[in-house]
């Protein structure tokens, strides 16, 4: 029998999840904490307190979380493990927006000021500031407090700055953890290792050897029951401003002096400040907006964006966006970065594709049709791993023929076992007070500073979403965006 893994956290903690009965808590946070407990990564004295408006007793709440965890990972679910974990769970019915409604929480945390105290705001963004201010007014913020904010932080630069400033009056910057779950994915972590720990790639990681980079985050699902939220955000606010720009930073950043949190985030900030601005008329030919129409997903008919439940009759919100970006610095001058993200696309995949330049001379002209530039494909989901696409000779006698083949590193096959969810790593880092994988205030605002002129350009230039059929790879204009440069989107079966 395999021995239990040593506990990685020794200090006791209290994690208070505002929005504790919401979709994020049920699908991600509680299952992640359950897995950490199963793997003996949490200390015995670690409590999880859910806060929500609904009048609910502790036992019915535990049953709801039991059902969620069982649905999320039935293979690793068993009664003994759940009973042990359930002892950590508590529930408080409270309206977090009301200052006078914090008595029960204050009582639950009494006498534990020396315990790491995590407040996770799995709520609508308009509650971020009221909750932080109410926690401060109730005297619940201690030197060991961490506050976790989910995206989006604001809907533009002004609102993001206002939220950050208000929360900054309640807590110090090192206590604020702005989470982006993409930074907790195994492939994203391996991206830095691949770049900075392997002599094979480090010398090639520049404009001399790399032709272009593609970053794709594609979803087969629609907006579902989140129409009201999504219609205020759209694909550029929901995905590009945070997830995709963070991936772009990790691909292009200079090596940090150390792996210290601020050293890493300083380098990411330099990338954001080096992004070529896209504004005015440039938005019409450097970006593409799309909105899905009725089509099919997994062989079944699905409605269009405007036919989803709770949808309005008309909306110009984009459910797809593609952008041709540039990084104006010595390493990347002239290298295009193609970003695209959308809902109701043909496949579910998140990946980074680095395409290298072709050899300077065609030594095998008879195989010209088979000559493909080398590509490094880093798959974030599904089937996490890294593939190096290269040319090799086909087997057999006769004329020499080349074909594209892959050196394939599947994390599942290489390391075995269950692949931890990104939230597991990030929740551990919050409890331990390690902010490297979280966004600093200046990163968030610099990202908005680049995104905002695109939004303004769309309005001024009348750049409206182009329709695309659900189950396709987006509007044809996104194909034209990259193919007019003589390049092609990387698409393969998941």
From the list 243, 285, 372, 490, the catalytic residue is: 243
Asked if 366 and 244 sit in the same domain, the reply is: yes
Q: Which structural domain range is residue 75 located in? A: 13-150
Q: What is the pLDDT of residues 343-380, one digit of tens each?
A: 999 999 999 999 999 887 777 666 555 567 899 999 98
Q: Looking at the domain assignment, is residue 170 inside a domain? A: no
Same domain, 251 and 389: yes
Instruction: Give me the pLDDT at residue 293, please.
Output: 96
Decide if 307 is inside a domain.
yes
Alpha-carbon span 226 to 232, nearest angstrom:
10
pLDDT tens digit sequence for 8-19: 677 899 999 999
Rounded Cα gap, residues 273 and 287, in angstroms: 19
Q: 206 and 133 in one domain?
A: no
Which pLDDT score, from 0 to 100, does residue 4 have?
43
pLDDT digits (tens, 9 = 90+) for 409-423: 887 787 776 777 889
pLDDT score, position 368:
57
The CATH number linked to 122 is 3.40.50.720
What average pLDDT is seen over the chain?
90
Q: Is the dihedral of CA 84, 86, 89, 92 positive or negative?
A: negative
Does 346 reside within a domain?
yes
> Which CA distances in Å does 385 have to 135, 353, 412?
42, 12, 8
Q: Which of these, 32, 40, 15, 76, lies nearest to 423 by C-alpha position?
A: 32
Q: How confident is the model at residue 76, as a pLDDT? A: 65
Give the rounded distance of the alpha carbon of 215 from its chain centre: 12
Asked whether residue 330 is assigned to any structural domain, the reply reads yes
Distance CA 155, CA 163 (A): 10
CATH number at residue 335: 3.30.360.10
- Tell me the whole-structure pTM to 2 decimals: 0.92
**pLDDT band, residue 188 (cuts 50/70/90):** confident
Whether 493 is in a domain gets the answer no
pLDDT at 203 over 70: yes
The span from the CA of 387 to the CA of 424, in Å, is 25
**Does 155 participate in catalysis according to the annotation?**
no
Same domain? For 295 and 379 the reply is yes
Average pLDDT over residues 192-211: 93
pLDDT in tens, 282-318: 999 999 999 999 999 888 999 999 999 888 889 999 9
Same domain, 210 and 80: no
Instruction: Please tell me whether residues 144 and 202 are part of one structural domain.
Output: no
With respect to residue 155, please indicate whether it lies within any of the assigned structural domains.
no
Asked if 211 and 100 sit in the same domain, the reply is: no
pLDDT in tens, 48-77: 999 998 898 899 999 999 888 887 766 667
Q: Where are the alpha helices (DSSP H) in 337-488?
A: 411-415, 422-432, 441-461, 476-483
How far apart are alpha carbons 206 and 335 in whole angstroms? 9
Instruction: Please give the tally of structural domains in the chain.
Output: 2
Residues 303 and 257 in one domain: yes
* Residue that finishes a domain, picked among 133, 150, 167: 150
Please tell me whether residues 210 and 355 are part of one structural domain: yes
Mark whether 297 and 413 lie in a shared domain: yes
Same domain, 199 and 313: yes
- The reply to whether 210 and 85 lie within a common domain is no
């Amino acid at each position: 029998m395999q021995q239990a893994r040593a506990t990685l956290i020794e200090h006791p903690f209290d994690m208070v999840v505002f929005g504790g009965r919401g979709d994020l808590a049920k699908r991600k946070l509680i299952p992640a904490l359950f897995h950490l407990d199963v793997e003996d990564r949490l200390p015995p004295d670690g409590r999880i307190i859910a806060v929500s408006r609904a009048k609910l007793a502790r036992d019915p709440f535990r049953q709801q979380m039991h059902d969620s965890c069982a649905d999320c990972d039935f293979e690793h679910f068993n009664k003994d493990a759940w009973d042990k974990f359930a002892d950590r769970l508590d529930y408080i019915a409270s309206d977090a927006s009301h200052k006078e409604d914090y008595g029960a929480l204050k009582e639950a945390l009494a006498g534990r000021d020396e315990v790491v105290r995590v407040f996770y705001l799995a709520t609508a963004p308009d509650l971020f500031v009221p909750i932080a201010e109410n926690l401060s007014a109730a005297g619940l913020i201690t030197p060991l407090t961490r506050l976790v904010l989910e995206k989006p932080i604001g809907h533009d630069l002004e609102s993001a700055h206002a939220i950050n400033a208000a929360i900054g009056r309640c807590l110090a910057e090192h206590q604020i953890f702005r989470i982006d779950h993409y930074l907790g994915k195994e492939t994203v972590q391996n991206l830095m290792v691949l770049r900075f720990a392997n002599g094979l790639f480090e010398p090639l990681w520049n404009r001399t050897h790399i032709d272009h980079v593609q970053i794709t985050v594609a979803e087969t699902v629609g907006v579902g029951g989140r129409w009201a939220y999504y219609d205020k955000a759209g694909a550029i606010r929901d995905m590009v401003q945070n997830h995709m720009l963070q991936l772009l930073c990790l691909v292009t950043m200079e090596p940090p002096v150390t792996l210290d949190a601020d050293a890493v985030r300083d380098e990411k900030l330099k990338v954001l400040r080096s992004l070529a601005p896209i504004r005015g008329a440039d938005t019409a030919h450097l970006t593409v907006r799309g909105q899905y129409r009725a089509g099919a997903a997994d062989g079944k008919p699905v409605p269009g964006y405007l036919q989803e439940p709770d949808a309005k009759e008309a909306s110009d919100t984009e459910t797809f966006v593609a952008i041709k970006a540039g990084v104006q610095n010595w390493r990347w001058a002239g290298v295009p970065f193609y970003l695209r993200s959308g809902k109701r696309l043909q496949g579910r995949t998140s990946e980074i594709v680095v395409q290298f330049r072709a050899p300077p001379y065609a030594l095998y002209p008879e195989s010209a049709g088979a000559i493909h530039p080398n590509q490094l494909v880093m798959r974030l989901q599904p089937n996490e791993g890294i593939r190096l696409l290269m040319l090799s000779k086909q087997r057999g006698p006769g004329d020499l023929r080349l074909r594209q083949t892959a050196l394939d590193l599947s994390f599942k096959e290489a390391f075995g076992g269950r692949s931890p969810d990104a939230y597991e790593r990030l929740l551990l880092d919050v409890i331990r007070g390690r902010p490297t994988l979280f966004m600093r205030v200046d990163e968030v605002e610099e990202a908005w500073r680049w995104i905002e002129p695109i939004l303004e350009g769309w309005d001024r230039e009348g750049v409206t979403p182009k329709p695309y059929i659900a189950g396709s790879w987006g509007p044809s204009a996104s194909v034209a965006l990259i193919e007019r440069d003589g390049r092609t989107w990387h698409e393969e079966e998941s």
